[in-house]
């Protein structure tokens, strides 16, 4: 019975830890720094999902504007967050995982105004952050 209790407690702790809160502040700082000459716009926190799940955000992108989505994760590799960008018709524009390579940022030279959707997932990290910037 005691062994069962210990195992149950361990299971509860493990699952709770996997849903635990991340300190996203250092990641926000790092990701904002990666924007370079892009002006800061928004922060998207990817801290309430596990591997295999996804979370979606949207943003109104404006034509003739360049946007950068920088990606950071709690392991510091910046390769643990995947983003897929969809246009207003839900057509895939791009993803940061392309031809077997994972990019820590996407620059999107937008020509068509509309609402865009960013779907984020994580792989082998606990949480991550994405910062959106723009440049005219």
Partner 1 sequence: MKKSKKYYKLDIILLASAFSFFALMSSCDKKEKTDDFSELGKVDSSGKINNATSELAAQVIKSIPPPIEMESIILNAGAPYDLNILNAVEEYEKYSTNYHKAINLGIYGADLAYINIYNRKEDALSYLNTVIKLSDDLKVGQFFDFETIKRIADNSKNLDSMLNITTSNFEKMNNYLQDQNRSNLSMYMLTGGWVEALYVACKVGLDKKNVPLYEKIAEQKIVLDQILLLLSCYKNDPNAITLHNDLSELKNTYNKIKIETIYAEPTMVEENGQLVVKDNSKTVIDAPEDVIKEIFTSISNTRKKIIG
| Region at 30 (left for phi over 0; alpha for psi -120 to 50; beta for the rest) | alpha
Comparing C-alpha atoms, which of 112, 116, 115 is closest to residue 64?
Answer: 112
Query: By three-state DSSP, how is residue 1 classified?
Result: coil
* d(C-alpha 103, C-alpha 35), whole Å: 14
Task: Write each residue from 19 to 58 as x if it is in contact with partner 1 (CB under 8 A), else as -, in one continuous string.
Answer: x------------x------xxxxxx---x--------xx
48 vs 75, beta carbon nearer partner 1: 48
Q: Which residues bind partner 1 (CB under 8 A)?
A: 5, 8-9, 12-13, 15-16, 19, 32, 39-44, 48, 57-60, 62-65, 85, 87-89, 91, 93-94, 96, 98, 103, 105-115, 134, 136
């Amino acid at each position: 019975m005691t062994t069962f209790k210990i195992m149950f407690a361990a299971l509860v702790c493990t699952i709770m830890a996997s849903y635990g809160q991340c300190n996203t502040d250092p990641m926000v700082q790092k990701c904002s720094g990666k924007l370079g000459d892009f002006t800061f716009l928004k922060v998207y926190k990817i801290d309430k999902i596990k591997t295999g799940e996804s979370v979606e955000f949207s943003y109104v992108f404006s034509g003739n504007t360049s946007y950068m989505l920088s990606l950071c994760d709690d392991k510091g590799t910046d390769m643990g967050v995947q983003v897929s960008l969809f246009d207003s018709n839900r057509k895939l524009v791009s993803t940061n995982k392309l031809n077997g390579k994972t990019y820590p940022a996407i620059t999107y030279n937008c020509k068509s105004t509309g609402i865009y959707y960013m779907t984020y997932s994580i792989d082998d990290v606990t949480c991550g952050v994405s910062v959106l910037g723009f440049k005219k």
